[in-house]
Structure formats: C-alpha cells, structure tokens
Amino acid sequence: MAKKKTLGIDARVPSDNHVILELIQYNEKDYAMQADIPVDELLTQFKPGEVNWINVDGLHDKSIVLKLGEHFCLHSLLIEDILSDHTPKAEEFDDHLFFTMKMLYSIKDAKIDYEQISFVLGKDFLLSFQEKEGDLFGSFRERIKQSSGRVRTRKADYLLYRLIDIIVDNYYTVLDEVGAQIEKVEDDIYGSPTDKEFQKIQKIKKELIYLRKALYPLRDALSKLTKDETGFIDQANIRYFGDVYDHVVHLIDSLDTYKDLTSSLMDIHINTQNTRMNEVMKVLTIISTIFMPLTFIVGIYGMNFEFMPELHSKWGYPGVMIIMALLVFAMLRFFKFKKWF
C-alpha cells in the first residue's frame, strides 16, 4: 500500500477507487495491524479482550457499512447518520456509543478542507468511518505500534479520546490560518482597498459560519460524554474528555473574536472606500470651483458684441490672463487657509 504525506496528513492511496478497511489490534503486550482487507475476513479477525480499532476510509460502498452494522448490531438510524452529512453529536445505545464530528484539514483561499468522521465505541472495539482517504492519525498509529505513551495500557474509550483530541488540536491550526488570512486582508484594506478584499472578507465570514456550526454542537456532544453514566467511558478517562471540552470552549471564544474582526474589517473596508470616494469628490469639486469664475470670464468675452473696449486694447488679452491667474491663485490660497485640502 503506497503512502504519502501531504500537509501533515497521512494519506493512504489505494490502487483503485474502493473502500479501505484497516484493523489495528493491541493490548499492553501485543500489536497487530492489517490494511485493505475484505470486510468478511476482517470480522473474523476480531479479538475479544483486546482493543480492536476498525477504520473505514470511504463511504461510497454502503454494503460494507451495512455489514459492519449488522455484525456489531448498529441501529439503522445510526447507520443513516454515518452515511449522511450530520452535525456533531453524541448518542448512547444499549451496547455502544455513537459520536460524530467534522475533521478539518486546512483552509486555502478562504475555503476549509474537511470531512465528516463518525465513531462507534463498544466494549472491546472502536469503529471509525471517514468520507475521504487519509486522515490526521498517521503519527498516532506509529505511537500505538511503538507503544509510546499510555494508549497501549488503556481501553477503547481512551483511544476514542485520543482521536477526538487530535482532530480538535488541528482546529487550532485551521483557526490560526483563518487569523493569518484576516491579517493579510486587513493590511490590503489599509493599503489599497478594492472589491477583491471585500470578496475575501465575505468568503472568510462564510467559513467562520461553518466553523460555528461545527464547534457549538461539538461542545454539546463532548459535554454529554463528560456526563456519561452508561459505563462506555471509564471514570478515569472522563477528565480527558473534559480537557477536550475545554479546548473546544477556547476555540469557540477565538471563533467569536475572529467573527467580530471580520465584521470590523467589513466596516473598515466600507469606510475606507467612502473616504477615498470623498477625497475624489473633494478634488473634483475644487477643480470645478476654480474653473467656475474662469468660465464666467471666458463666457463674457466669448459674446459677439462689436463694442467691447477690451477687444481692441493692446493689453486686453494679457490683462485677462493675468486676472484669471490671480483668481486661481487667490482661490487656492483660500482653500488652503480653510484646510479643505
């Protein structure tokens, strides 16, 4: 199976467009990993008493999800939530716990790259369903293999916490990228604002709305996990989910700050555009005002009367030009005195 790294994301690239099934099994002493195996064979490899992490990459083959659902007795409504786009939530069933959320990768050109990921937590297993190939868990898989940290000494609920924590940590990266884009737009606005900056602000605002829809329900879903009374999550691990909950609350605060910043940027952009327009109108008004008396003088001497003494004077033309120049100079001095420019 070929592997590549892109933007810190571990992407498993299949030879054709099919669903990738991955099975990782471990306890404190043993570890086994199988990738891209048929679903029927995978289900025969299930080992009670160990942590069985089944990861599904790609949801376009509904039959595979249905087979897993049938084997683990998943409710039909749960299967529907896995296969459809759904807001983050946590839901308890008799013998398993369902949790779904958005996994964000990065933001480019004010557009977030994301996918939905769903988890089903049982006594000895964790199922994860992803829409796309590749995820954020590459380095964590290696830590499980190398038995780094405490994950190999814990059960499936701790594995669920670590996966959620990795996803939430990457929210910070995405929000930092949003902040960098906001700063760049702000610099452009103060420099030379155009309609292009206004469009960028609108795009960023749209993505912030999406983040809001992803984070607020996620906070509520994590709150439900921290109050779990069904026994799916060990009491010793509740505090870890509480820590992730605190991270999400902090992310929401940052999101609200960025939302206020984008609103302020829109106001600044509009005010800057209006200021520039006022400057242009002021210059045009000054020019028009200067030319008004000059046009009046020219209009008088443009009349076709025979008896106009200045027309036959030797100094008539230079005299009129000097008067016009003095008028322009006097008006400019007056405007300067009034601080109109």
pLDDT in tens, 259-310: 888 888 877 777 777 777 888 888 888 888 888 888 888 887 777 777 777 7
Residues 157 and 41 in one domain: yes
Higher per-residue confidence, 107 vs 237: 237
**Per-residue pLDDT, 3:** 37
Answer yes or no: do 253 and 295 share one domain. Answer: no
Q: Contact at 8 Å (CB) between 128 and 162?
A: no
Pair 217, 313 in one domain: no
What percentage of residues in the chain have a pLDDT greater than 90? 29
5 pLDDT higher than 60: no
Condensed to tens digits (0 to 9), the pLDDT of residues 17-31 reads: 678 899 999 988 889
Give the closest residue to 22 by CA, choosing from 105, 144, 123.
144
CATH number at residue 297: 1.20.58.340
Give the end of a domain, one of 248, 271, 294: 271
Q: Are 181 and 107 in contact (CB under 8 A)?
A: yes
Q: Are residues 112 and 224 in the same domain?
A: yes
Q: What is the per-residue pLDDT for 230? A: 67
Q: Is residue 85 part of a domain?
A: yes
- Please state the domain count of the chain: 2
Query: Which of these three, 218, 237, 271, is where a domain ends?
Result: 271
> What global pTM score does this model have?
0.77
Place of tokens 């984070």: 215
How far is the C-alpha of 90 from the C-alpha of 248, rounded, in Å?
15
Beta bridge mates, 32? 25
Residues 6 and 19 sit within 8 Å (Cβ to Cβ): no
Same domain, 171 and 306: no
Q: Which residues are within 8 A (CB) of 188 and not within 5 positions of it... i.e. 6 or more apart? A: 197
Where on the phi/psi map is residue 41: left (φ > 0), alpha (ψ -120 to 50), or beta?
A: alpha
Same domain, 103 and 180: yes
- Do 157 and 201 share a domain, yes or no? yes
Predicted local confidence at residue 17, as pLDDT: 61
| Domain span including residue 213 | 2-271
On whether residue 276 sits in a domain, the answer given is no
